[in-house]
Amino acid sequence: MTPDAPPKPIRTAEVIAVGSELLGSTRVDTNSLFLADRLSSLGIELRAKSVVGDNRRELAEHLRRSLERVDLVILSGGLGPTDDDVTRDAVSDALGVPLVEHPEIVDRLRERFARRGLQMPDVNRRQALILEGGVVLSNPNGTAPGQMIVRGHQAIVLLPGPPRELKAMMDVLVSGDGALAKHASRERLFRTTLFVVGRGESHVEEVAQPVYSKWLRHEPPIETTILAAPGQVELHLMTRSPDAADADRALARARDELIAALGGDVFSIDGRSMEEIVGQLLLDRHLTIAAAESCTGGLMMSRLTDVPGSSAYVLGGAVAYSNELKTSLADVDPALIAAHGAVSEPVAVALAEGIRKRAGASIGVGITGIAGPTGGTPEKPVGTVAIAVIAPDGAAHVRTFSLFGTRTMIKFWSSQYAMNMVRRLLIS
């Protein structure tokens, strides 16, 4: 049986994960990520997701507030047979709809236990309680059936918490003839993302906001979200349209406007990481690379070699952490270190030149810095990192960065900026 269609299409949704264990430090709600993806495939925008403990009164109140905001609420978990499985009761309270026992569900549960040579505990009858007017959603992988009820222009879906059960049931709901697919709008959601390096989130916003602020008045309108992520800033563009070609054209125009504003700081528009972008540029130009790394401890080479096929352009490198190894592995003159310090542009250049010659690479990279939390001085505080790139023609490109954050963050940012210097060299 399929629920009657709401009088208008479902466009917005919230997800409520139910379970006190999800409020602790050992269990994470991963179902909402899967649900967000499946809802997006129908053009249903997920507006919020939350976790509520096993409290009937609090869950009922939370559901009431959700129904004030969205067309669809999906609750995951709390459909088991025990007293702390309160989802059915809370939804009943919130909607003012009684629960009715379905004898056929009780019979199926008994048969399921009998096939395993067991007698069904009487508490499992709770799993046969269905909201009056609701539709049972079969669960091929477990004992707890789901349910869906349509109330006016809204729908509420109850799904079990175990991912193996929830995913199979949700896939049926969003399939071509599934209940949610039938209730969704003809419009779909379309997205594209730009990845920016070399600018902070506020600096990206300063440039991008005058560009994207006018898009909400376009047809179709385009929404923009800016997200700061490790080593980069992300610009997420989203539009809603019944026509994929129209949406793609609108997103492409918007993307091109942002690229024109942000220039070469946009390093990826297709989801590829910095190491993938740099690797492809090296491959396309038949160039090779080697690096001598100090503060990054080999992180740049590790990231480059995470890409399949990187042996075509990565020759190798050295972790020259001590001053002695800077000399023995990358031919850095000890007098240069004595004169300028290990963390300096002359030493970064020497590291890049030395490893390039030793490896016979087209491009050499040298990274030296202070990752902290100790080791800084007033002249060279923690986060001071000198990076040099030697081009195929022997020209040196060097820059000193002042980075912030934990030791791990400084190491990652250093590797990101080093690869970005290589990228900028290769596209110039």
Tens digits of residue pLDDT in 36-46:
999 999 999 99
| Mean pLDDT (whole number) for 198-217 | 93
Separation in Å, CA 196 to CA 300, 334, 403: 18, 38, 17
Q: What integer pLDDT is reported at residue 4 of this predicted model?
A: 62
Q: In the predicted model, is pLDDT for residue 3 greater than 80? A: no
Q: Residue 96: CB partners within 8 Å, gap ≥ 6?
A: none
Which uninterrupted H or E stretch holds 52? strand 45-52
| Mean pLDDT (whole number) for 152-180 | 95
Q: Count of CB atoms within 10 A of residue 358's CB?
A: 18
Q: How confident is the model at residue 220 (pLDDT cuts 50, 70, 90)?
A: confident
Q: In the predicted model, is pLDDT for residue 373 greater than 80? A: yes
- Residue 133: which of 102, 109, 159 has the closest Cα? 102
Q: Which amino acid, 34?
A: F
Q: In the predicted model, is pLDDT for residue 385 greater than 60? A: yes
- The three-state secondary structure class of 386 is strand
Does residue 162 contact residue 79 with C-beta atoms inside 8 Å?
no
Q: What integer pLDDT is reported at residue 243 of this predicted model?
A: 92
Q: What integer pLDDT is reported at residue 5 of this predicted model?
A: 56
Separation in Å, CA 95 to CA 87, 91, 234, 289: 12, 6, 40, 64
Separation in Å, CA 106 to CA 99, 109, 132, 208: 14, 5, 16, 58
| Mean pLDDT (whole number) for 89-116 | 94
Does residue 358 contact residue 332 with C-beta atoms inside 8 Å?
no
Q: How far apart are CA 363 and CA 357, in angstroms?
A: 9
Q: How confident is the model at residue 20 (pLDDT cuts 50, 70, 90)?
A: very high
Q: In the predicted model, is pLDDT for residue 2 greater than 70? A: no
Q: How far apart are CA 255 and CA 291, in angstroms?
A: 34
Q: What integer pLDDT is reported at residue 218 of this predicted model?
A: 77
Rounded to the nearest angstrom, the gap between the alpha carbon of residue 378 and the centroid of all alpha carbons in its chain is 38
Over residues 288-298, the pLDDT tens digits come to 999 999 999 99
Q: In the predicted model, is pLDDT for residue 196 greater than 60? A: yes
| Mean pLDDT (whole number) for 144-164 | 95
Q: What integer pLDDT is reported at residue 185 of this predicted model?
A: 86
Main-chain dihedrals φ then ψ at residue 177, nearest 5 degrees? -110, 15
Q: How far apart are CA 391 and CA 279, in angstroms?
A: 15
Q: In the predicted model, is pLDDT for residue 1 greater than 60? A: no
Q: In the predicted model, is pLDDT for residue 22 greater than 90? A: yes
